Structure 1
Amino acid sequence: MATILRNGASNDNPKFPFAVEPGRRTRVRWRYRRLVALTRCHTALTVPFHMIGTLLQRGDWRGRIEAQRALLRFLNGLDWLLRDPKTVVGRTPYTTILHQGKLEVRRYHLGSVKQRYPVPIVLVPPLMVKPFIYDLYPGRSLVAFLLERGFQPYVVDFGEPDEADQIVRLDQYVVEWLPAACRAVREDSGVETLSLLGYCMGGVFCLMYVAVEADHDVRNIVCIATPVDMSKMGILAWVAKLAGKQVETLAHTLGNVPGGLSSTAFRLLTPMKNLTRYTDLFLNLWNHEYVTGFDAMNQWVGQFIDYPRDAFVQFTREFMQQNKLARGQLTLGGKVVHLRNVHSNVLVFAGKTDQVAPPAAVRALLGKVGSKDKTFLLVPAGHMGILAGSQAPTQVWEPMARWLAARSRRAKARQSRHAIAKPATRMQAAAS
């Protein structure tokens, strides 16, 4: 059994004019034996070579390319069938600096990579998804990218809600848990100055936190696909208004909104892509990076977590139906959220084909914040692609790194180190 390199280099075997990777050959042999043991069938061992032999007889460059792809399609398909897709995501090493209840804060690190910029970056995830969206897989990991560029990233994990969290509201995320996470980062890094980065609702959390807490030491805020004017969210805004109070009835029947239900609803936004995704996978099985990306994106959507009942009702009613955030009428923790109180430097990304957070809903942020330094970038991407698509590193991550680098060269040292206040448990927080 032989495998081939992607550069198509020749070896000395005229019957198989492609270079061999010995390490991969050993792995594939082991997987063959496992496949045969599982299927009790040896046909799979000969089919791809018959296919390749036919293609090579064509004698042209296209035949050779197709032969390469046919073999790679078989090998990658075998690898895809046998591996656990959960092992693809979240592979950058980290240290947990705060673990209180379900709230965690993680400091990421990469071997000998040195920190060049003293201002740490706190990455805040949206509800419904796990924080590994910032660390999908090697080559598509935002935290690894930031580390390589000399930044120190921290990731907040709000945990997975359970039945006891039905009465949790958005107030707890913004005025209790996110402040606790920022305190932990400041204690760990020894500096007061922070940058916040949020994707989708995570960006809304960052803006609301700074507006409510008046945290003037948050120097920079990066918002990726972050809607602020919910009236411009297209079909989602229309559905929310059409549903009316039936949303509350449904939520009290279901309790927490199941992650599987959210996942199905998300996939329905792009029905044709959902129908053809496995066809696309087969056609691209020869491309190992495509297969890895397919698994990672599937894990992203397939591992949606539950949405706390009261937080979901609050978001639907006060954000989607009444648009209180954009109107300056939203109250969290007894305080009105005025986005004009945000004076941090702000960088905003929107995707041209984003159906969840359309550009108009995202661009509205610029007219709401009180920042003098604010930048808006429109990129050709959808809602997931803008954060982790194949073009995200060049179209989003690189411009973001340059923007942050120019604003992260100095940081204010933390003067005193107090014990990090323990956030209330979720039941206590919701009841207070």
Structure 2
Amino acid sequence: MGPLNIEPFKLFEEAQKFQKKMMAGMQVLRTLDDVEFGCTEKDEVYREDKLVVYRYRGERKPTAKTPTLIVYALVNRPYMVDLQEDKSLVRNLLAQGEDVYLIDWGYPDQADRWLTLDDYINGYIRRSVDAVAKNAGVKKINVLGICQGGAFSLCFTAIHPHKVKNLITMVTPVDFHTPDNMLSNWTRNMDADLFVNTIGNVPADLMNWCYLMLKPMRLLQQKYVGMVDILDNKVELENFLRMEKWIFDSPDQAGEAFRQFMRDFYQGNKLVKGGLKLGKHEVDLKNITVPVLNIFAEQDHLVPPDSSRALKGVIGSEDYTQIAFKGGHIGIYVSGRAQREVPPAIHDWLRARA
């Protein structure tokens, strides 16, 4: 290795620029208020335990005759789909004329320790779907499942196909045993029974650190080093802090539901292999014969594209469409490209099946 070519004058210039940036950033930080999230007005239409179903209000009445219910994952808060005015899947779907509802799961506590996946899917989701259908005056609704919520939506549609008109899945894991699935590889030999029996509900902080460890350099070092570049830009800094607030505002996980999700999905891969049972119901994805739109992200480190692509070969529907989005697991909701491409694609697909 040759000698390092360091010019003292340039090094001094960089140090001065950094100092000025930090001083300007300190001034900006003094002017910041607590960042808010959720830009779209909404009304509560159903409540049960900690769950609330909201209907969003757009600037004009929806033109879609069939409402769409967003089923988000349990592991994060659902306001990622309505983060801010220029980064809102909900707002853009409303602008397209869709009638949008969403399940907010709330924050589980020790009272929820024994909730099972059957409780979530055949209980909460079923009753939420019924509430939306009743509110809209229809018999069937569209379901849009995101990430883990997409896996739940697949199970729900397989068991209750008569309640769903169209199914949309976004960044949804289907085959949990693809070679590039790091989360699956990590948890494949985990003793889920010992884990849950020991700690009960799974703390949100533990889950967050597991996700961060998938890309420790990018998510724990480079991100905060890069933050220095925007310290003197109030808008960009508020956007950064809003995202950070979402990342660390995660609910705990109900212990029993977590145990079953680990054993049956990540370890047993039963969603595609078969043998998945929720309460008295067997889950057979071949029972899904409604139109399906599957959207996945090509640079997704949490749900590899091949995991989502597997959906095509395991459902019974002859009307299947998939869209590969050029971005990552979070970018599919908040990037500028996502705002331009994803909501219109969903709307056009639904309109063609109205």
**TM-score normalised per structure 1:** 0.73
Answer whether contact 1:230 1:323 (CA < 8 A) is retained.
yes
RMSD across aligned positions (CA): 2.3
Q: Which residue does 2:10 correspond to in 1? A: none
- Tell me the equivalent position of 2:159: 212
Residue number among 188, 191, 194 corresponding to 1:241 in the alignment: 188
Contact 1:104 1:158 in 2 (8 A): yes
Q: 1:212 to 1:388 in 2, by over 3 A?
A: same
Letter in 1 for 2:248: G
Match of 1:82 in 2: 32
The answer to whether 1:104 aligns with 2:49 is: no
Shift of 1:401: 2.1
Q: Report the secondary structure of 2:296's partner residue.
A: strand
Decide whether the 8 Å contact of 1:76 with 1:288 is kept in 2: no
Give the aligned partner of residue 224 of structure 1: 170
Aligned to 2:101: 154
The equivalent of 1:20 in structure 2 is: none
Post-superposition CA distance 1:157-205 (Å, at most 9, x none) = 2221101211111111110111100111111111223111111011111
Distance 2:166 2:263 in 1: 30
The letter of the residue matching 1:145 is N
Pick from 131, 134, 141 the counterpart of residue 81 of structure 2. 134
Counting matched residue pairs gives 335
Aligned mates of 1:195, 1:184 — CA distance in 2: 13
Task: For residue 214 of structure 1, report the CA deviation from its aligned partner.
Answer: 2.8
Is 1:261 the counterpart of 2:209 in the alignment? no
**Structure 2 residue aligned with 1:326:** 272
- Structure 2 gaps, min length 5: 1-16
Given that 1:77 and 1:285 are in contact with CA atoms closer than 8 Å, whether structure 2 keeps it comes out as no
Larger relative CO (CA 8 A, sep 6+): 1 or 2?
Answer: 2
2-structure distance, mates of 1:94, 1:79: 31
Note if contact 1:105-1:157 (Cα within 8 Å) is conserved in structure 2: yes
* 2:284 counterpart of 1:338: yes
2:196 counterpart residue number = 251
How far is the alpha carbon of 1:397 from its aligned partner?
2.4
Partners of 1:77 and 1:338 in 2: CA distance: 58
Residue identity matched to 1:135: D
Distance 2:286 2:338 in 1: 30
Mapped to 2, the partners of 1:76 and 1:328 lie a distance apart of 56
| 1:117 CA displacement | 1.2
Distance 1:80 1:221 in 2: 46
Deviation at 1:344, TM superposition (A): 1.4
**Closer, same or farther: CA 239–380 of 1 in aligned 2, 3 Å:** same
In 1, Cα distance between equivalents of 2:55 and 2:215? 35
Contact 1:228 1:326 in 2 (8 A): yes
2:126 corresponds to which residue? 179
Partner Cα distance (1:91, 1:376) in 2:
29
SS of the residue corresponding to residue 154 of structure 1 reads strand
Identity %: 32
Q: Deviations over 1:18-53 (max 9, x none)?
A: xxxxxxxxxxxxxxxxxxxxxxxxxxxxxxxxxxxx
Residues 286/327 of structure 1: CA separation in 2 closer, same or farther (3 Å cut): same
Counterpart position of 2:70: 123
Structure 2 residue aligned with 1:380: 326
Residues 279, 80 of structure 1: alpha-carbon distance in 2 compared, 3 angstrom cutoff: farther
State the distance in 2 between where 1:158 and 1:263 align: 18
Q: Deviations over 1:46-78 (max 9, x none)?
A: xxxxxxxxxxxxxxxxxxxx9xxx89x947962
In structure 2, the residue matched to 1:302 is 248
Contact in 2 for aligned 1:251/1:313 (Cα 8 Å): yes
Distance 1:285 1:118, change over 3 A: farther
> Which residue identity does 1:335 align to in structure 2?
H
Question: For residues 277-314 of structure 1, what are the alpha-carbon distances to aligned partners after superposition, in whole Å with 9 as ceiling and x for unaligned?
Answer: 12222213455553343223212211111011111111
Task: Determine the C-alpha separation between the residues in 2 that align with 1:197 and 1:285.
Answer: 36
| Residues 130 and 202 of structure 1: CA distance in aligned 2, closer, same or farther (over 3 Å) | same
1:34 is aligned to none
Among candidates 61, 75, 91, match of residue 39 of structure 2: 91
Q: Which has the larger radius of gyration?
A: 1
> Which residue identity is paired with 1:406?
A
Kindly provide the CA deviation profile for residues 216-266 of structure 1, in whole angstroms up to 9, marking residues without a partner as x. x422111111011111152212111232x2x32122221111111111111
CA distance in 2 between counterparts of 1:222 and 1:95 reads 23
CA contact (8 A) 2:68 2:100 kept: yes
Contact 1:80/1:291 (CA < 8 Å) preserved in 2?
no
Partner of 2:217: 272
Tell me how far apart the structure 2 counterparts of residues 259 and 280 of structure 1 sit (CA, whole Å).
26
Supply the distance in 2 between the matched residues of 1:290 and 1:267 (Cα, whole angstroms).
Answer: 22
Counterpart amino acid of residue 194 in structure 1: I
- 2:202 touches 2:255 (CA, 8 Å); kept in 1? yes
CA–CA distance in structure 1, aligned partners of residues 111 and 205 of structure 2: 19
Asked if structure 1 preserves the Cα contact closer than 8 Å seen for 2:53 and 2:103, the reply is yes
Indicate how the Cα distance of structure 1 residues 92 and 250 shifts in structure 2: closer, same or farther if over 3 A, else same.
Answer: same
1:18 alignment counterpart: none
AA aligned to 1:322 is G
TM-score where L is the length of structure 2: 0.88
